[in-house]
Structure 1
Amino acid sequence: EEIVEELNDILGDSDKAPTYNELMEMKFLERCIKECLRLYPSVPFIGRVAGEDIKTSNGYTIPKGCEVNIYIYELHRSTQYWEDPEKFDPDRFLPENVAARHPFAYLPFSAGSRNCIGL
């Protein structure tokens, strides 16, 4: 209902396709899409090869050349980064909440040099 209300506020009764500027005004819709991608990422896991030795926070060393898998589905449900992670809450993506979160806690399309080119 909130998305429909936002669309009506921005587009009114118009039957034409929204303009780029109108799309940029759809902040609540954007937050809802991001929250959907947090809960159900289109890429649920990614694999990489360690380019250097990596020291983990609990003292392990992942040696250079080792294959590493990141389970994005679980990362997006980690209580370390997300309060009540199973709850659908688009406000997680308000600017002030995004700024307070680790930049790699949300990876809907991967990250780094092999990030989705459409992002």
Structure 2
Amino acid sequence: EVDTFMFEGHDTTTSGISFTIYELARNPDVQERVYEEIVSILGKDHKTAELTYQNLQEFKYLDLVVKEGLRMYPPVGIIGRALVEDLELNGTTVPAGQNVLVPIYVIHRNPEIYPNPNQFDPSRFAEDAESKRGPFDYLPFSAGPRNCIGQ
């Protein structure tokens, strides 16, 4: 378990941050809006201002940006699970005990869920848009009892 915390958690965090920064570089309008939010919350001395739990909660747009980065580039693109009970899927029964793969990357790029899925668009995660999705349409940290402990 220490290995999971120390090493596997490090790579996924680094990946998520790196790809989000990449998209900020590719989208200067989004980058400017994030900067404006930082200045509005932390003030003109934002480079040396103290971050607190309270002011971190105020970064609403940055939260949308990070979520969109994790949607486009999930740190773990596919997960495996063993079924604990039979699963009916499109008229086919998949028996309990069978290993299945959940393609998170593919789900996050599904145009029926995310129109223009290859476009970086943080507004996808605004409250009104988020409420229209299903509970398993956004899985950067997996789901259920074996989800990412570091989320």
Same fold (TM over 0.5): yes
Does residue 8 (structure 1) correspond to residue 43 (structure 2)? The answer is no
Identity of aligned residues (%): 47
CA distance in 1, matches of 2:115, 2:129: 11
Look up the SS of the partner of 1:25 in the other structure. Answer: coil
Q: Which residue of 1 aligns with 2:112?
A: 80
CA distance in 1, matches of 2:50, 2:146: 33
Q: CA deviation at 1:99?
A: 0.9
- The TM-score with structure 2 as length reference comes to 0.76
With normalisation by structure 1, the TM-score equals 0.95
What is the DSSP-based 3-state SS (H/G/I as helix, E as strand, rest coil) of the residue aligned with 1:22?
helix
- How far did 1:71 drift? 1.0
Tell me the amino acid that sits aligned with residue 109 of structure 2. R
Q: Which residue of 1 aligns with 2:145?
A: 113
Structure 1's consecutive aligned runs of 4 or more residues displaced over 3 angstroms after TM superposition are none
SS across alignment from 2:57: helix
Of 95, 100, 103 in structure 1, the residue corresponding to residue 132 of structure 2 is 100
Q: Which structure carries more helix by proportion?
A: 2
Return the alpha-carbon distance in structure 2 between the equivalents of residues 38 and 93 of structure 1: 10
Counterpart in 2 of 1:43?
A: 76
Question: Partner of 2:65: helix, strand, or coil?
Answer: helix
Shift, 1:10, TM fit: 0.3
- Unpaired segments ≥5 residues, structure 1: none
